[in-house]
Amino acid sequence: DIQMTQSPSSLSASVGDRVTITCRASQAISNYLAWYQQKPGKVPKLLIYAASTLQSGVPFRFSGSGSGTDFTLTISSLQPEDVATYYCQKYNSAPGTFGGGTKVEIK
Amino acid sequence: EVQLVQSGAEVKKPGESLKISCQGSGYTFTTYWIGWVRQMPGKGLEWMGITYPGDSDTRYSPSFQGQVTISADKSISGSAYLQWSSLKASDTAIYYCARLSIMGATGSYFDYWGQGTLVTVSS
């Protein structure tokens, strides 16, 4: 099965900073990559699908890029409400493996 | 409005059986795959498996094959289920159901999520 590796596992940044999270697939998955945000104690929420398509209602400061094996999630200007753990997920075929998560905190 | 409503929290003893549910509404339940995701305390998300209510086709992650049973009923306002025949303490987790976004397709992401069911297994 394809493995999904996220880095870093956690980060701390200041409000207004640009934040980048990476996700690497052990085999090529084209653009079948989604990103989810999970705030503490809450249900995961879809942010981005098809590697770069923003889900309706998601702020434009979130963006995704990549194809094949290497992907990134970028928050252009970190806001306090962005404190959460972010997960990538590949979905080209079952199992739809998640990455290990990246915890984002405010410095 | 699409909604997935899960059954309530459970407290069980090791060795007991359990079946939790996820009821879909606001869409044609039989035409979208439903999946289950585990989140152990303080840990990440784990994809367990998916089921298609229309024909009961089910796919499991190798990590969960043989450990749980995923099923669904075919009624239009039906439910998906996750069950254990003999619980272990290590099954303690929050379990989420979620809908795959593309009608009839396994190769799609989760667009709607249930609220989660906390399962606690302790002697």
Query: Which residue, chain included where needed, has tokens 């493995």?
Result: A3
pLDDT in tens, B50-98: 999 999 999 999 999 999 999 998 775 689 999 999 999 999 999 999 9
- Please tell me which residue of chain A has the smallest CA distance to B58: A94
Least CB–CB distance from A93: residue in B35, B46, B106: B106
pLDDT exceeds 70 at position A90: yes
Predicted confidence at residue B61, as pLDDT, reads 96
In this prediction, residue B122 has a pLDDT band, given cuts at 50, 70 and 90, of very high
pLDDT band at A6 (very low <50, low <70, confident <90, very high): very high
Residue B6 CA to residue B12 CA, distance in Å, equals 17
Closest Cα in chain A to B107: A92
Q: Does A100 touch chain B (CB under 8 A)?
A: yes
Q: What is the pLDDT of residue A8?
A: 98
Selected for mutation to probe chain A from B37, B45, B64, B117 (highest A CB count within 10 Å) is B45
Contact status, residue A103 vs residue A8, Cβ threshold 8 Å: no
Q: Name which of A32, A44, A89 is nearest B113 (Cβ-Cβ).
A: A44
The pLDDT tens digits of the residues spanning A40-89 come to: 999 999 999 999 999 999 999 999 999 999 999 999 999 999 999 999 99
The secondary structure of chain B, three-state, reads: CCEEEECCCEEECCCCCEEEEEEEECCCHHHCCEEEEEECCCCCEEEEEEEECCCCEEEECCCCECCEEEEECCCCCCEEEEEECCCCHHHCEEEEEEEECCCCCCCCCEEEECCCEEEEECC
Segment B3-16 shows an average pLDDT of 98
pLDDT of residue B123: 97
Question: Distance from CA of residue B112 to its chain's centroid?
Answer: 13
Question: What residues of chain B lie within 8 A of the CB of A92, using their CB?
Answer: 107
- Cβ–Cβ < 8 Å for A6, A99: yes
Residue A2 distance to chain B (closest CA, Å): 11
